[in-house]
Amino acid sequence: MREHRYYVYIATNKRHTVLYTGVTNDLARRTQEHKTHAVPGFTDRYNVEKLVYYEATDYVPAAIQREKQIKGLLRRKKIALIERANPQWSDLSLCL
């Protein structure tokens, strides 16, 4: 029996000028927090409300390692990662 899923995700603002990478164990809840600006800070300040990419794993260390890896990518590499999985930059939170 699987206990938890962990998600590494990239969210952005309307103009796609900000790319935020995070980790969560509840992607639906976390994206809702972004949309409602429930947590003060970077994502609230820059209106990061749109989920454009995510990966899932059963292991939190793997999720954290992948988050660090993605955060270390150049912006163009992050964009390529998003566009391979989500070429239209659709808001994936609408499908959760």
Q: With CA atoms as reference, report the closest residue to 86 among 57, 50, 35.
A: 50
CATH topology of domain 6-95: GIY-YIG endonuclease (3.40.1440)
Over its C-alpha atoms, the chain yields an Rg (Å, rounded) of 13
Q: Which residues of 14-23 are buried (b: 16+ CB within 10 A; e: fewer)?
A: eeeeebbbbb
Question: Phi and psi at residue 93, in whole multiples of 5°?
Answer: -65, -20
pLDDT digits (tens, 9 = 90+) for 28-48: 999 999 999 999 999 999 999
Delimit the domains of the chain by residue range: 6-95
Q: With CA atoms as reference, report the closest residue to 53 among 16, 89, 3.
A: 89
What is residue 3's predicted lDDT score, i.e. its pLDDT? Answer: 65
The pTM for the full model equals 0.95
What is residue 4's predicted lDDT score, i.e. its pLDDT? Answer: 85
Residues of the chain with confidence (pLDDT) below 70: 1-3
